[in-house]
Amino acid sequence: MKTPRLSLTTIIFTFFLITILSGCNNGDSDNYTVAPPEPLPGKADLSQYDNGKRVMMQAFYWDVEPRFEWWEILSRKIEDWAASGIDRIWLPVATKGQSGEFSMGYDPSDYFDFGEFDQHNTIPTRFGTRSDLEALIGKAHNNGLEVIADIVLNHNSGGGEEFNPYRNKNTHTLFNKDHGNASGMFNRNYEDFHPNSIHEHDEEALFFEEQDLCHHQSRVQEWLWKGENSVARYYKDIMKFDGWRFDYVKGYGSWVVKAWNDEVGGFSVGEYWDGSAPKLIEWVEASGSAAFDFACFYKLDEALDRNNDLTILEGDMLWKTHPDKAVTFVANHDTEKDENPENNISTANKMLAYAYILTHNGYPTIFYSDYENETYKSRLKDLIRIHNTMATGPIEVLYSSPEEYIMRRNGTKDNPGLILYMNISSGHKQRTIPSNWKDQSLVDYSNNTSAWLMTDSEGQVTIEAPARSFSIWSVSQ
């Protein structure tokens, strides 16, 4: 049986004649003419399908500019992000680093200097003053957004020099008011780093050897999460952060993240940079925290950039076994500056990758530089809207080949779900598939085609997708 299709552009230029798609799958079609329906099918009001899901915004990129103004710049974005369906913003490391005004925060020196102490040749951080940050957090909360703090627990930088008996040489492990810790809180010395009187190193690999924090030291635990004035409690109770992004969690035991979260709670995601789904699963189960789904990231990179083979998406990913613990992403501050093409997804394929994570399970993260890029912005807004409304219900892969991937979200009793069609070939593709909708018109909510389709009495329909692009089908209004 042939399935009707109508292109709105064709209507205008052919006096309301439409094309009937055949059941063939090679891009060919037979032409017929039928009277168009009245009224023409259009998109449904998606607000009626709110599924309660939202997305997170990574609100920075590497070496943001201009210096000292970032918190103010973000404050001006809050209303738009909230209206677009974002429910959390992940901020860069908010405290003073050794590099002072040039620091992105991953060289942490003073955990309690949010831009108010004169040290490392600056009072504000690269991002602004403490008052600017507090204003940003307040505005985010007033617009219903949670604010996620980036926490670096593995290593410290910018301390004063002292003799270290465990290394039999001088090391920069002295942190006090005169040496990189002007707040006077969480002063440290060589006993708080590795090696020390307890052991040589943490359970996991060393990253920043000479200033590698020892999480087994009781006073380190008190200052990081246990004590009344701990970093965790200060960030939550005083600064009003709502959750945590833990940097480089391979550098210490998973028990550290679990202990932190048991003490103060809040949303939590760890940067366990590994493309192995089993390793990610092991970490999230041990820590109790969510993790960035690097397995998904690398599968998308392999499928879209390296191998041009969408069957790779059938492989293991964290979201497939632990959807509530998987934070999916297409780009972040590290991948975007990485010159190794195997560690980033190409510009040409970014929207395909976003279409994948925003229609599948997991908690998607949008990268600031992508969302604020006018090339992507309107399309990302459409995908976020689709994610927050119709991307629900069990997932079924209906068809998979090197060039094509078709997935169905089966929806719920009150939600129609959707069908995603990814096509990485150089030509327009069509394929006949089963849907959950009988005798209903469908439209492409991605806006990548202007066609409408009609399912038959059994739910069969021939869907289409443009070359090197995608379409997302669901019932019309």
Residues serving a catalytic function are 247, 271
The β-bridge partners of 212 are 155
Contacts of 132 (CB under 8 A, 6+ apart): 71, 72, 75, 115, 124
Strands 395-400 and 55-58, by their bridges, are unpaired
Q: Is omega for the bond preceding 195 within 30 degrees of 0, making it cis?
A: yes
344 is in an annotated binding site: no
User: What amino acid is encoded at 310 in this protein?
Assistant: L
Question: Residue 162: which of 193, 185, 183, 186 has the closest Cα?
Answer: 193
Number of residues in the chain = 477
DSSP state for residue 215 in the 8-state scheme: T
Question: Residue 134: which of 184, 218, 181, 72 has the closest Cα?
Answer: 72
d(CA 246, CA 168): 32
383, 357 Cβ separation under 8 angstroms: no
- In the numeric block, which tokens belong to residue 205? 């690999």
Burial 146-157 (b: 16+ CB within 10 A, else e): bbbbbbbbbbbb
Q: How many CB atoms lie within 10 A of CB 35?
A: 8
- In the numeric block, which tokens belong to residue 74? 């973000």
DSSP state for residue 40 in the 8-state scheme: P
d(CA 123, CA 463): 58
The β-bridge partners of 292 are 327
DSSP state for residue 167 in the 8-state scheme: T
d(CA 115, CA 95): 7
d(CA 268, CA 174): 30
Helices (H) and strands (E) counted in the chain, each on its own, are: 14, 22
464, 451 Cβ separation under 8 angstroms: yes
Burial 443-468 (b: 16+ CB within 10 A, else e): bbbbebbebbbbbbeeeebbbbbbeb
- Residue owning tokens 């439409």: 18
Give the three-class secondary structure for 117: coil
- In the numeric block, which tokens belong to residue 194? 């590795």
- Positions at the binding site for Ca(2+): 154
Q: Which residues are annotated as a binding site?
A: 154
